[in-house]
Amino acid sequence: MEGKQLVTLTASYEELTESSAVALAIRLGLIQESSHLTCTEIGDGNLNYVFHIYDHKQEKGLIIKQALPYAKVVGESWPLTLDRARIESAALIKQSEYAPHLVPAVYYSDTALAVTAMEDLSHLEIVRKGLIAGKQYPHLSDHVGEFLGKTLFYTSDFATNPKIKKQFVKQFTNPDLCDITEKLVFTDPFFDSETNDFEEELRESAEALWADLEVQARAAELKRIFLTSAETLVHGDLHTGSIFANETETKIIDPEFAFYGPFGFDIGHFIANLFLNALSRENEHEQSSTFLTMSSMYGQPSKKCSQKLGKRTALKRLVYRTAF
């Protein structure tokens, strides 16, 4: 299946079940019909079904992900666009052009059915769960740094023809999911919104934050940048729950929030997650280990870029386009 991508248009949308997900995979030739097949819905997220199909005889697996027309965690009272499935598959394919070893391979996508079939990553684990359990991922910083360095650079004006880049901006326009980020990241946390969920013991600190005019002004400026800076194709939801890894391998998943936005958004989002993990630790050694991961993550790509181009040539847009 490696490298094979199919695209079809189903007549209408219908929610998959475990049995219909298997039937779809067999019909498309992505997996062979067998009595040794199992299928389990493993999605623990808020927005999608995720089916893990596994052939126990061949020891081969497949993931079929389907977007729902509503937030699964809430129900039909919170409708969502199915177009996010198209954006996710397109983003994975685009990211694989620059970092194929760091994203799951896409085998099939269907815009009407809102389905993406992709590589099985069940041999890896979600990094968030591993970090909470105190596990170490020795290559995480290098891999995430490489992913960000390559995908953010090569989809920006530094490496893409401006006319083509504008076509990408249109392709990855993602208003519904950007609206979620605008509200839950840049707006609601800065006033007493019903969407805020925190322990009552933190209310005094939260109210102080809401009353801090300097914080409010800075948050408004960051929101302005988020709304207006179509600089590069960002993942849009890059946190430790969007990364599978083990001691040697890393895969970045779930770019359904992808859009053309500011360079710093994915970087800041991921740093914030590492900070939260570090600050939850009582052990100072574990905290310092996380901070070293952050330092390594962003130091290595910059060092490699400087070595390859030199300080002066790295500032020239023409050299950016020809030297990479």
Start-to-end Cα distance in the chain? 30
| pLDDT < 50 stretches in the chain | 2-3, 305-306, 308-324
Last residue of a domain, one of 58, 86, 119: 119
CA–CA separation, 29 and 179 (whole Å): 37
Segments in the chain forming alpha helices (H) = 18-27, 83-96, 127-132, 140-154, 162-171, 175-184, 203-211, 213-228, 264-279, 284-309, 317-323
Tokens of 249: 């391998």
Last residue of a domain, one of 119, 140, 164: 119
Q: Which residues have C-beta within 8 Å of that of residue 311, sequence separation ≥ 6?
A: none
DSSP state of 170: H
CA–CA separation, 13 and 124 (whole Å): 31
DSSP state of 47: S
Residues 134 and 261 in one domain: yes
CA 43 to mean position of chain CA atoms = 15
CA–CA separation, 145 and 149 (whole Å): 6
Q: What CATH number should be reported for the domain holding residue 17?
A: 3.30.200.20
Q: Which residues have C-beta within 8 Å of that of residue 246, sequence separation ≥ 6?
A: 123, 124, 125, 137
> Residue holding tokens 């893409």?
160
Which one-letter amino acid corresponds to residue 163? K
Residues 166 and 29 in one domain: no
Residues 167 and 107 in one domain: no
Cα→Cα distances 299→74, 212, 216, 285, 294, Å = 40, 33, 31, 21, 8
- Provide the pLDDT for residue 284: 67
Q: At what angle do helices 175-184 and 83-96 cross, to 10 degrees?
A: 90
Tokens of 74: 């809430």
Residues 201 and 305 in one domain: yes
Residues 134 and 245 in one domain: yes
- Provide the pLDDT for residue 163: 96
Number of domains the chain is built from = 2
Residues 306 and 165 in one domain: yes
Q: What CATH number should be reported for the domain holding residue 270?
A: 3.90.1200.10
Question: Which residue from 292, 264, 268, 258 is spatially nearest to 278, judged by alpha carbons?
Answer: 292
Segments in 2-126 forming alpha helices (H) = 18-27, 83-96
Last residue of a domain, one of 119, 148, 183: 119
Output phi, psi for 14, to 5 deg.
Answer: -150, 145
- Provide the pLDDT for residue 301: 52
CA–CA separation, 154 and 160 (whole Å): 7
CA–CA separation, 158 and 30 (whole Å): 37
Residues 136 and 55 in one domain: no
Residues 256 and 287 in one domain: yes
Residues 45 and 82 in one domain: yes
CA–CA separation, 76 and 73 (whole Å): 10
Instruction: Look up the domain containing 295 and give its range.
Output: 123-324
- Provide the pLDDT for residue 322: 46
Residues 73 and 213 in one domain: no
Residues 76 and 127 in one domain: no
Residues 225 and 86 in one domain: no
Cα→Cα distances 218→212, 213, 214, 261, 262, Å = 10, 9, 6, 18, 16
pTM (two decimals):
0.87
